[in-house]
Amino acid sequence: MDAGIEDSRIKDLVKTAMIEVLEERRDLVLGLVEEALEDMGMVHAIREGEQSPLVSREEVFRILEK
């Protein structure tokens, strides 16, 4: 069997499988997208925090107790 034909067949099978997952397991896909967005938000928050000035532990708790 020609390697090009085999690669094409594998590519078609993967595409078909992905389409089936997207259609049949929408909840799974939405969960993955949600997790990715949360991770991106966490990365953004961490980077923003690295640029802000440091504060004492006492100051943090004073603010939280308000």
Query: Token pair for residue 37?
Result: 């967005």
Note the pTM of the prediction, 2 decimals: 0.55
pLDDT over threshold 90, residue 36: yes
- With a cut of 60, say whether residue 10 has pLDDT above it: yes
Whether the pLDDT of residue 37 is over 90: the answer is yes
Q: For the chain, what are the domain ranges?
A: 3-64
Q: How confident is the model at residue 4 (pLDDT cuts 50, 70, 90)?
A: confident
| DSSP H or E stretch at residue 66 | none
d(CA 41, CA 3): 43
